[in-house]
Amino acid sequence: MIVDCAAYEGGRRREGELSMERAGEAAGEEGTFVWLGVVEPSEEEFKAVAAEFGLHELAVEDAVRAHQRPKVEAYGETIHVVVKPARYVDPDEVIEVGELSIFVAPDFVITVRHGDANLAAVRERLEGRSDLLEKGTGAVLYAIVDHVVDRYMEAVHGFDEDVREVELQVFGEGANPTERIYKLEREVLEFQAAALPLGEALEELCSGNFAVVPETLHEYFRDVEDHLRRVNGRIENFRQLLDSALEANLTQVSMRQNEDMRKISAWVAIAVVPTMIAGIYGMNFEHMPELEWSFGYPTVLGLILAVCAFLYWRFKRAGWL
Amino acid sequence: MIVDCAAYEGGRRREGELSMERAGEAAGEEGTFVWLGVVEPSEEEFKAVAAEFGLHELAVEDAVRAHQRPKVEAYGETIHVVVKPARYVDPDEVIEVGELSIFVAPDFVITVRHGDANLAAVRERLEGRSDLLEKGTGAVLYAIVDHVVDRYMEAVHGFDEDVREVELQVFGEGANPTERIYKLEREVLEFQAAALPLGEALEELCSGNFAVVPETLHEYFRDVEDHLRRVNGRIENFRQLLDSALEANLTQVSMRQNEDMRKISAWVAIAVVPTMIAGIYGMNFEHMPELEWSFGYPTVLGLILAVCAFLYWRFKRAGWL
Amino acid sequence: MIVDCAAYEGGRRREGELSMERAGEAAGEEGTFVWLGVVEPSEEEFKAVAAEFGLHELAVEDAVRAHQRPKVEAYGETIHVVVKPARYVDPDEVIEVGELSIFVAPDFVITVRHGDANLAAVRERLEGRSDLLEKGTGAVLYAIVDHVVDRYMEAVHGFDEDVREVELQVFGEGANPTERIYKLEREVLEFQAAALPLGEALEELCSGNFAVVPETLHEYFRDVEDHLRRVNGRIENFRQLLDSALEANLTQVSMRQNEDMRKISAWVAIAVVPTMIAGIYGMNFEHMPELEWSFGYPTVLGLILAVCAFLYWRFKRAGWL
Amino acid sequence: MIVDCAAYEGGRRREGELSMERAGEAAGEEGTFVWLGVVEPSEEEFKAVAAEFGLHELAVEDAVRAHQRPKVEAYGETIHVVVKPARYVDPDEVIEVGELSIFVAPDFVITVRHGDANLAAVRERLEGRSDLLEKGTGAVLYAIVDHVVDRYMEAVHGFDEDVREVELQVFGEGANPTERIYKLEREVLEFQAAALPLGEALEELCSGNFAVVPETLHEYFRDVEDHLRRVNGRIENFRQLLDSALEANLTQVSMRQNEDMRKISAWVAIAVVPTMIAGIYGMNFEHMPELEWSFGYPTVLGLILAVCAFLYWRFKRAGWL
Amino acid sequence: MIVDCAAYEGGRRREGELSMERAGEAAGEEGTFVWLGVVEPSEEEFKAVAAEFGLHELAVEDAVRAHQRPKVEAYGETIHVVVKPARYVDPDEVIEVGELSIFVAPDFVITVRHGDANLAAVRERLEGRSDLLEKGTGAVLYAIVDHVVDRYMEAVHGFDEDVREVELQVFGEGANPTERIYKLEREVLEFQAAALPLGEALEELCSGNFAVVPETLHEYFRDVEDHLRRVNGRIENFRQLLDSALEANLTQVSMRQNEDMRKISAWVAIAVVPTMIAGIYGMNFEHMPELEWSFGYPTVLGLILAVCAFLYWRFKRAGWL
């Protein structure tokens, strides 16, 4: 499904939407390029686009199937860039990873979107920057990748908060955070699978091998690359923190087990004493002088209470209760 | 045992099966190549093939013994590619790894199969694509490797499901998943040993050093390489998830141990109280006024029940029961 | 906010503070350079500076936002260096990481500071070394980076002490150090994120690609790089020690749990014996000769005491008490 | 001690054993080379050999002392190769690592053996392959290294079996396998120290830098390298499996502890009930109607048995017994 | 403090000690070099030396402060090598790391020592090898580094013994080795920080970039490098063994805890039975026929003993006692 198709000329958008056929023509004009946006196309839909713009058979298959790694692949003059936009859904603590296939040639950009990445906003912002648009199709690629990496940063903030919450859970009272830690680790790994290989792709884009990324854009791509490195640094950081949190959590569980055991034992000890003393005065010897004393019973009761109180005080002092 | 032997010319299969001698002749003809499929050959059988097509002594030994790592080895014009097809047998959670030795020269392809890899399907599909077949023997190699990597992807899906099941086991009730996690880890390692070195081999194939892989095929091999990278990324992911699952599982075991301990202790505490009280009224003091009361016995019984109920309620509230 | 702005000529500071406009002029003079210090500027403030000195749009954005990784980026003749000064706040065991954006061109240095890094001290010390100042703006860069790395070393000493304290806690008596170890690990990771990428940046500075770092300064930068390597080596060391400490701590927790369990069990055993013996003499058989003995009761009491004493001695000897 | 010394000419062994002096002469003849085998020589013995063949002082020291890593070192035309043959002694689960110093020059091979490596068999097999022998001294080196790597493969099979046995122990009943796992890990590390650096050495041998390894032998050395990679892949695999086994084992120990704790607690609970009930009817109240019933005692006994049976059934059902 | 200063000429030491001024002159003579040994100099002392021999400001600072990593740094013709001699103090299980700054120019060697490294012995041994001394100042550097690496090897043997002792402790009876393992790990890390970077430095020395290390010495440095690799291999090995030992130890602690728990429980079970039976015969029912039997008491006592003996036997057989 085509969602937006326009021609750009001299840093400005030409009036009106283009049909696909008109787009092909417009792309052929000198000093003009076309940006065609497609969303989750069927194989037939996209084959038509591919035929119009001369895309490679393999790239088409990959763009439709959408199970790619981030990468840059050159097919002649056209380059095929795959990026994976990510969004952190905080209440569920889940990272949602989409896929964007971008075909960039000197005279056209085709963006194929799977999942929700707000390219309309990118287009709008870029249309306000004619200095960038003048640099050609590479600028469109830059704007998209910049947007994706900015979204990564937001996802990083989302993770950051949850990792801090998990830490509070590990070292505070409350529910066992093991499952949460594990699930977060899973999501972090998925995020990393989306973000890490993009670095390599960005490096390639700055290598000067691709005509569609002129040297005046290298600084821009290097800037994005730098932000991406920060993202990847933070992701690695999360993994290490969650690893340590998992181990610290195990220790805390053991600690709490020990505390419970001590508390239980202390109460058992306090309960064992009356039973023991009562057992002794429950013996049936004929000659047990205490049994005949008038104050034997209250004395023994008092003794029991005193011993229990003493034990309670000792355990309290030792931190077992 | 030879399973299929045919000559290909101008992108089409020549009619009829060839005997091995005829195959040698056909390979010599201009613009023709032969594809010879062999399954688990004995040393003598394969030595005959090797003599006919001039294969290197060491390659022969390796192809027959079948304990190779994935690799590309050049012996003059002929290259020897080893790939290890894998199949995930889900009910047993076992990865079955076979071995394929492929000898590719400009005028012949010899495939030596150990274990079950469905090359008949590959051959059939390729015979329907004369545009690829025209590119020569390298296209056969591409078709086989592409097929193998597609099978890897299926294996990845199989693992994915089992890893998710294991997660449910770790965090849910039910049997101890330690052994299952360990066994899965073992299988993942075996899968990785098959898939990881293939990446290096594919990179070499795209390097342009081998005449049998012309440049028009590089994009195809790079596409396979890319899919393989996804596979290898996922495999690495599984290893990390299983590692974490093993550790999370240990924590869960400790947690459950603690819960059991608390439950047990709570019941013991509830049982200790009647014994203690009864012990006191079992003492033989002569002057124990309660013993003579008419309602002493029911009162004490009630006291015991009340204390037990109170403890039960406390433990229930504290989450110990 | 501009904090200090001066012109340097022939290794000496020219008298007086410069306004920003005068600074631009001074920078234009032959053999003179300007050092402009800015602290946490607003976007408008810094845009004025950037316009005066011709800084790149992207660098400006990064300098104002201050969420950069350490790096060197060249924009034409001007290089943009980002370093992250760190200070270890010992009572809180927290590493405070600031950010310094340094723009170095042959005729000016602009330092943009976020967080507290004492650049006044650097300026003062450098002004006493006219041999260095004569080497131009690169010397200013050297002086700043040298200062930052020296501060890193102090932070390393701070960590070192706390790691040693943690070790005493792990192997001594006292509070559970799990949370402290984890928190320290978190801070070490943050420190590492500041210090590790600086190494790469310093290597680039010594590569000879930048006109503002002449060869006579390479030895100086290599010296700083070497100190940084020591810092990074120590940081890595801390991570490994804290990892091991976390695991050793778990073992110690288990050991202590075992010791507690033995101690508790020993006391329970000692208490069970009197109950058991008393139980036996509490039976109501008609024919129990001991019950009628005159010294039955004291004998049994003595027996109980003897058995308890014996058990106590045994447990003491076995190290359970 | 010299164990075998012979001259080879045109792919065949010349009749008879040579004395060392005669060996030196024979080596000087055109188209002839000498293979001298020495076992654990004393310093003096080997210095004589070294003088005769002009070996480098440092190489001599290393060959006699025998605490080398696998390596290739060139001293002029002569190369010094160190390999470490390994043998897995299964009953003891110990890897025995020897050392072989091989000096290869165009006209002689000197092998210095420490520990038992069956070079006689290598020599015999090689003497049956005149096509290889004709390639000169490099072929001797190949034959030896090939033999060593084949022995590695056998050691790998030995480890494989023991790792599988250990897995059965971890997940089955029986003795605590912790020590066994640790000891195996130790042996695997020792094996790896012998096998891993050999890869680098083999790569160097194929680099074409050494005259004694002509290009016709490269395929042979690459074949050995490939087998070695398999060995090293398996060794790495063992390490990871043993690591996981150690952790799985810890979990199993915890699981078993929990099971024991449940079993113990169940029995304690069953034993506590009679004591509690008996305690109640052991109270000395004057008015306890049950005490006077004729069937009071059997009723209570029955009650006790019923409760115990009920508890037993409940615990059985819950899997605690 | 200058400890030894001599001139060497034609492979021999010139008679007599030199004062520092005379040393400067001697160094200027053709075919002569000077070796000046300094121990923990004050800043002023060393500044005088530096002035005499023209050492670089930064190198001087580093040599006096002595908190360097092992490295090679070239300042013009002079190279500054830092090595860190290590000594393993066995009774304390502590590695003592010193520091040696060596300035090597074609006509002088200055050694600055911190901590105890026996350079007198190195000097003496080297003076007996005029073939080496003739190769110039590089030979002095070789002799020192060789000595340092030989000392490393001794330290490795010291660690090796202690690691084996720790293993015995982990799997045998006796004290908890957790702290010892951790402390050893700490020392191993410190040793590694001294030895690992030296490898890089040695590689650089063999690169042929430094005039003071002529090609005739490369084989010597490569030999030392090789020994150092062995050292570093062993150190890495220790780290892995100690890591595994820490984890194995945790498992052993858990195992022992379980054994203790079983033993305790078994005794508790044996003690509970008499209490339970005695409780039953302590009930006050009027109609309990056993109570009136003449042999009731001894029968019950016998029953108690029999049950206890039976339990003891069962527990013994199950390995709980």
Give per-residue pLDDT as tens, B79-109: 999 999 999 998 888 999 999 999 999 999 9
Query: Can you tell me the distance from the alpha carbon of E249 to that of E243, in angstroms, rounded to the nearest whole number?
Result: 10
Contacts of E165 (CB under 8 A, 6+ apart): none
Residue of D237, D251, D276 lying closest to B271 (CB–CB): D276
- Subunits with 3+ C-beta pairs closer than 8 A to E: C, D
Q: Is the pTM of this model over 0.90?
A: no
Give per-residue pLDDT as tens, D128-149: 998 899 899 999 999 999 999 9
Does B252 touch chain A if contact means CB atoms closer than 8 Å? yes
> What percentage of residues in chain B have a pLDDT greater than 90?
49
Does C171 touch chain E if contact means CB atoms closer than 8 Å? yes
Number of alpha carbons in the 13 Å side-chain half-sphere of residue C205: 33
For residue C171, which residues of chain E lie inside 8 Å, CB to CB?
178-179, 182
Band the pLDDT of D77: cuts 50, 70, 90: confident
pLDDT score of D30 = 85
Band the pLDDT of E140: cuts 50, 70, 90: very high
Taking residues C180-184, what's their average pLDDT? Answer: 94
Closest C-alpha to B315, from A249, A267, D267: A267
Residue of E171, E251, E276 lying closest to D275 (CB–CB): E276
Is residue C31 a contact partner of residue C10, using CB atoms and an 8 Å limit?
yes
pLDDT score of A126 = 92
CA distance C130 to chain E (A): 15
Label each residue of chain E as H, E or C. Answer: CEEEEEEEECCEECCCCCCHHHHHHHHHCCCEEEEEEEECCCHHHHHHHHHHHCCCHHHHHHHHHCCCCCEEEEECCEEEEEECCEEEECCCCEEEECEEEEEEECCEEEEEEECCCCHHHHHHHHHCCHHHHCCCHHHHHHHHHHHHHHHHHHHHHHHHHHHHHHHHHHHCCCCCCHHHHHHHHHHHHHHHHHHHHHHHHHHHHCCCCCCCCCHHHHHHHHHHHHHHHHHHHHHHHHHHHHHHHHHHHHHHHHHHHHHHHHHHHHHHHHHHHHHHHHHHHCCCCCCCHHHHCCCHHHHHHHHHHHHHHHHHHHHHHHCCC
Range name among C122-136, D166-180, E259-273 with the lowest pLDDT average = E259-273
Locate the DSSP E strands across A58-158: 71-75, 78-83, 86-89, 94-97, 99-105, 108-114
> What percentage of residues in chain A have a pLDDT greater than 70?
100
pLDDT score of D116 = 78
Check CB contact under 8 Å for D278 and E273. Answer: no
For residue D132, which residues of chain B lie inside 8 Å, CB to CB?
none
Distance between start and end Cα atoms, chain B: 68
- Subunits with 3+ C-beta pairs closer than 8 A to C: A, E
Does C220 touch chain E if contact means CB atoms closer than 8 Å? yes
pLDDT score of D91 = 84
Range name among C214-218, C277-281, E4-8 with the lowest pLDDT average = C277-281
For residue E237, which residues of chain D lie inside 8 Å, CB to CB?
189, 193
Mutate to test the interface with E, among D82, D240, D257 (most CBs of E within 10 A): D257
Taking residues B128-147, what's their average pLDDT? Answer: 92
Kindly identify which residue of chain C lies nearest to residue E259, measuring between CA atoms: C258
Taking residues B120-130, what's their average pLDDT? Answer: 91
What residue type is assigned to position D161 of the chain? E
Taking residues A94-111, what's their average pLDDT? Answer: 93
Does D246 touch chain E if contact means CB atoms closer than 8 Å? yes
Query: Can you tell me the distance from the alpha carbon of B247 to that of A182, in angstroms, rounded to the nearest whole number?
Result: 9
Kindly identify which residue of chain E lies nearest to residue C246, measuring between CA atoms: E182
Put simply, the chain E residues between 256 and 275 with a CB less than 8 A from any chain C CB are 256-257, 260-261, 264, 267-268, 271-272, 274-275
Residue with tokens 């008490």: C321
pLDDT score of E96 = 93
Residue C318 has pLDDT above 90, yes or no: no
Does C169 touch chain A if contact means CB atoms closer than 8 Å? no
Residue A173 has pLDDT above 80, yes or no: no
pLDDT score of C227 = 93
Residue A26 has pLDDT above 80, yes or no: yes
Q: Which helix (H) or strand (E) holds A197?
A: helix A178-205
Query: Can you tell me the distance from the alpha carbon of D98 to that of D115, in angstroms, rounded to the nearest whole number?
Result: 5
pLDDT score of C301 = 86
Band the pLDDT of C79: cuts 50, 70, 90: very high
Give per-residue pLDDT as tens, B267-286: 888 888 888 888 888 888 87
Band the pLDDT of E293: cuts 50, 70, 90: confident
Range name among C104-118, C146-160, D145-159 with the lowest pLDDT average = C104-118
For the packed helices A178-205 and B137-171, what is the interaxial angle rounded to 10 degrees? 150
Residue D294 has pLDDT above 90, yes or no: no
Residue of D170, D240, D285 lying closest to B281 (CB–CB): D285
Residue of C247, C254, C284 lying closest to E254 (CB–CB): C254
Residue of D256, D281, D301 lying closest to E258 (CB–CB): D256
Taking residues A256-272, what's their average pLDDT? Answer: 83
Give per-residue pLDDT as tens, C247-303: 999 988 888 888 888 888 888 888 888 888 888 888 888 777 888 888 888 888 898
For residue A297, which residues of chain B lie inside 8 Å, CB to CB?
283, 285, 287-288
Check CB contact under 8 Å for C285 and E267. Answer: no
Residue C175 has pLDDT above 80, yes or no: no
Band the pLDDT of C150: cuts 50, 70, 90: very high
pLDDT score of C290 = 80
Range name among C168-177, E162-171, E201-210 with the lowest pLDDT average = C168-177
Mean pLDDT of chain A: 89
Residue D287 has pLDDT above 80, yes or no: no
Encoding tokens for residue D87? 């043998």
Taking residues E260-270, what's their average pLDDT? Answer: 83
For residue D68, which residues of chain E lie inside 8 Å, CB to CB?
226, 230
> DSSP of A284-302, one letter per residue?
--S--HHHHSTTHHHHHHH
pLDDT score of B293 = 83
Give per-residue pLDDT as tens, C257-271: 888 888 888 888 888
Residue of A247, A273, A284 lying closest to C291 (CB–CB): A284
Does B135 touch chain D if contact means CB atoms closer than 8 Å? no
The torsion of the CA quartet B30, B35, B41, B43, rounded to 10 degrees, works out to: 20
Query: Can you tell me the distance from the alpha carbon of A37 to that of A144, in angstroms, rounded to the nearest whole number?
Result: 12
